[in-house]
C-alpha cells in the first residue's frame, strides 16, 4: 500500500480528529518537552534488530538511526522496552494495528495528553517522522544487561587510599565549592565559591546528573547519565579522581552512607548508585568504589500490582536515623529502605506510595524525605525514623524539585 505524503494525509484526517488544533492547545512547553523527552545515553549501545514481518520494512542503517533517535527523544517517556513509563506503551501489538500513516500524524502533531508535536515544532523532519512511525512497529531491541562481571571490568582505583593525602593539601574552603556539570564534554568544573574561579576541571561520565558530598565533606561523588561514578578527593591539590566504576548503561543517582549512632559508625563506609538500565542499584565500598552487591528493582507496581520489567531507580538518599539508604523506584512507585548493616543478609523495607517517583529533598530535621511522584501529581513524604509513609499529598501538574 502506498503511503500518502504527510501534509496530504493530515489534511484529510485533521478535520475528523482535530489533531492540529489539539496540538496547538495541548500546552507542551519547551521546558516540559526538554524534561519529559530528556535523552538517554544508551542509544549507541549495540542491540540486535528484531524484524516484525507485519511491520513496514527497514534497512539496518534505518533501524540504527531510528534507535538513536528513540533513545534521544522517546525512551525517557515510553521506556527502554517501549512498554510505557510516563508515556503510553509503543509495542508492536498496539502500533502495527494503528498503521504507519496514523502513527505519523501523532508523531508530527502530538496530542493533548503531552506527546510533543515533533515535526510541527521543528524537532524532527518529515523523513524522521516516517522513520520513527515504522520503527515503533518493529519489536523493541533490548539493551544488554550489566551485571557484576561487567561492573567489575570497569572498576578503577586511580589513587589507592594509602596513597591519598592525610591532610588537606590546598587552601580552598571545600565547604564552599560548586560542582558544575559540563554536560557534553563529560566533565565537572569545581568552582571556588569565594573567588568564583575554576579550581579544576575533572573528567567524569557523560552529562553528570548529580554531585553528592560524602558525610565527611572530603569526597565528592558524581554520576553521569552513562552510569559512570567518579570519586573526587577534595583534599588533593588540585582535587582529582581517585576511583571510578560504571554501574549500568543509564543512571541518575549516587550517595554515601551517613549513619553514626548506637548501631555503629557507618559514615562513608559504603556508596550506592542506581541505574535506569538495567533497573538495579549497586552497593560499593566507600573508599574505593569496589562493587559489592547488585540488586534488581524489577517487580510489581503499586495500585494495579502489575509486573514492570524496567522500573528505573530515581533518587537515592542516605538516612541519618538508621543505617539505611532510601532508594526511590520510579515505575513501581516504591521507596526501598535498604538496611546495609549486613550485605550478605540484605533487609529491605518496601514502602508503596505513587508511581513515577523522581527526586526530592529532606526537611530541616532530615527525618522526612519528600519525593515528587511527577506523573502521578503527588508528593510522598517518607518518615526515615519510623520507616513508613507519613503522607501522600495531591499537588499541581508534574511536581519536580
Residue 113: the pLDDT is 78
Those residues whose C-beta lies under 8 Å from the C-beta of residue 61, and which sit 6 or more positions away, are none
Could you tell me if 130 and 156 lie in one domain? Answer: no
Q: What confidence tens digit (pLDDT) does each residue in 273-297 have?
A: 999 999 999 999 999 999 999 999 9
Write out the catalytic residue numbers.
74, 77-78, 115, 358, 400
Let me know if residue 29 belongs to a domain.
yes
Q: pLDDT below 70 — which residues of the chain?
A: 1-39, 41, 43-44
Positive or negative torsion for Cα 101, 104, 108, 114: positive
Residue 37: the pLDDT is 54
Could you tell me if 170 and 128 lie in one domain? Answer: no
Residue 311: the pLDDT is 96
Total structural domains in the chain?
2
Let me know if residue 335 belongs to a domain.
yes
Let me know if residue 142 belongs to a domain.
no
Let me know if residue 141 belongs to a domain.
no
Size (the chain), residues: 401
Let me know if residue 86 belongs to a domain.
yes
Could you tell me if 158 and 264 lie in one domain? Answer: yes
pTM above 0.75, yes or no: yes
Q: Tell me, what CATH number does 209's domain have? A: 2.140.10.20
Could you tell me if 346 and 380 lie in one domain? Answer: yes
Q: Tell me, what CATH number does 10's domain have? A: 1.10.760.10
Could you tell me if 254 and 165 lie in one domain? Answer: yes
Could you tell me if 328 and 254 lie in one domain? Answer: yes
Residue 28: the pLDDT is 53
Could you tell me if 194 and 338 lie in one domain? Answer: yes
Residue 325: the pLDDT is 99
CA distance 184 to 380: 33
Could you tell me if 65 and 198 lie in one domain? Answer: no
Buried b (16+ CB within 10 A) or exposed e, 17-43: eebbebbeebebeeeebeebbebbbbb
What's the domain range around 206? 148-394
Let me know if residue 399 belongs to a domain.
no
Could you tell me if 81 and 167 lie in one domain? Answer: no
Let me know if residue 1 belongs to a domain.
no
**Cell 557507618 maps to which residue?**
266
Could you tell me if 258 and 233 lie in one domain? Answer: yes
Query: Could you say which of 69, 101, 135 is where a domain stops?
Result: 135
Could you tell me if 123 and 202 lie in one domain? Answer: no
Residue 19: the pLDDT is 43
Let me know if residue 208 belongs to a domain.
yes
CA distance 247 to 271: 12
Could you tell me if 111 and 220 lie in one domain? Answer: no
Residue 7: the pLDDT is 53
Residue 386 grid cell: 519510623
Residue 98 has what DSSP assignment?
H
Rg over alpha carbons for the chain, rounded to the nearest Å, is 23
Residue 149: the pLDDT is 98
Residue of 210, 171, 206 lying closest to 185 (CA atoms)? 206
Positive or negative torsion for Cα 228, 234, 240, 243: negative
Residue 125 grid cell: 523532519
Residue 48: the pLDDT is 75
Amino acid at each position: 500500500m502506498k503511503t500518502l505524503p504527510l501534509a496530504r494525509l493530515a489534511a484529510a484526517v485533521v478535520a475528523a480528529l482535530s489533531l492540529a488544533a489539539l496540538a496547538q492547545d495541548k500546552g507542551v512547553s519547551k521546558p516540559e518537552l526538554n524534561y519529559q523527552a530528556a535523552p538517554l545515553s544508551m542509544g549507541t549501545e549495540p542491540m540486535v534488530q528484531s524484524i516484525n514481518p507485519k511491520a513496514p520494512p527497514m534497512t539496518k542503517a534505518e533501524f540504527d538511526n531510528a534507535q538513536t533517535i528513540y533513545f534521544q527523544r522517546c525512551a525517557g517517556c515510553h521506556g527502554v522496552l517501549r512498554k510505557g513509563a510516563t508515556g503510553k506503551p509503543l509495542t508492536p501489538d498496539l502500533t502495527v494495528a494503528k498503521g504507519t500513516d496514523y502513527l505519523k500524524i501523532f508523531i508530527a502533531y502530538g496530542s493533548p495528553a503531552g506527546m510533543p508535536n515533533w515535526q510541527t515544532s521543528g524537532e524532527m523532519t518529515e523523513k524522521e517522522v516516517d522513520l520513527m512511525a515504522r520503527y515503533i512497529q518493529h519489536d523493541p531491541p533490548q539493551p544488554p544487561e550489566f551485571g557484576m562481571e561487567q561492573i567489575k571490568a570497569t572498576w578503577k582505583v586511580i589513587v589507592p587510599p594509602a596513597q591519598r593525602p592525610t591532610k588537606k593539601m590546598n587552601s580552598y574552603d571545600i565547604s564552599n565549592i560548586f560542582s558544575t556539570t559540563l554536560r557534553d564534554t563529560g566533565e565537572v568544573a569545581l568552582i571556588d565559591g569565594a573567588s568564583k574561579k575554576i579550581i579544576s576541571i575533572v573528567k567524569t561520565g557523560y552529562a553528570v546528573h548529580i554531585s553528592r558530598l560524602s558525610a565527611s565533606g572530603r569526597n565528592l561523588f558524581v554520576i553521569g547519565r552513562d552510569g559512570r561514578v567518579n570519586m573526587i578527593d577534595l583534599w588533593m591539590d588540585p582535587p582529582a579522581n581517585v576511583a571510578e566504576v560504571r554501574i549500568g548503561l543509564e543512571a541518575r543517582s549516587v550517595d554515601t552512607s551517613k549513619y553514626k549512632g548506637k548501631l555503629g559508625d557507618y559514615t562513608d563506609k559504603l556508596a550506592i548508585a542506581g541505574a535506569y538500565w538495567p533497573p538495579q542499584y549497586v552497593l560499593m565500598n566507600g573508599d574505593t568504589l569496589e562493587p559489592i552487591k547488585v540488586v534488581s528493582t524489577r517487580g510489581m507496581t503499586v495500585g494495579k500490582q502489575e509486573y514492570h520489567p524496567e522500573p528505573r531507580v530515581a533518587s537515592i538518599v542516605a538516612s541519618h536515623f538508621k543505617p539505611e539508604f532510601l532508594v526511590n523506584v520510579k515505575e513501581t512507585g516504591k521507596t526501598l529502605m535498604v538496611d546495609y548493616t549486613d550485605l550478605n543478609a540484605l533487609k529491605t523495607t518496601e514502602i508503596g506510595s505513587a508511581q513515577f517517583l523522581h527526586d526530592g529533598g529532606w526537611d530541616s530535621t532530615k527525618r522526612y524525605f519528600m519525593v515528587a511522584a511527577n506523573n502521578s501529581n503527588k508528593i510522598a513524604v517518607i518518615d526515615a525514623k519510623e520507616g513508613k509513609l507519613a503522607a501522600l499529598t495531591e499537588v499541581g501538574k508534574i511536581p519536580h524539585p
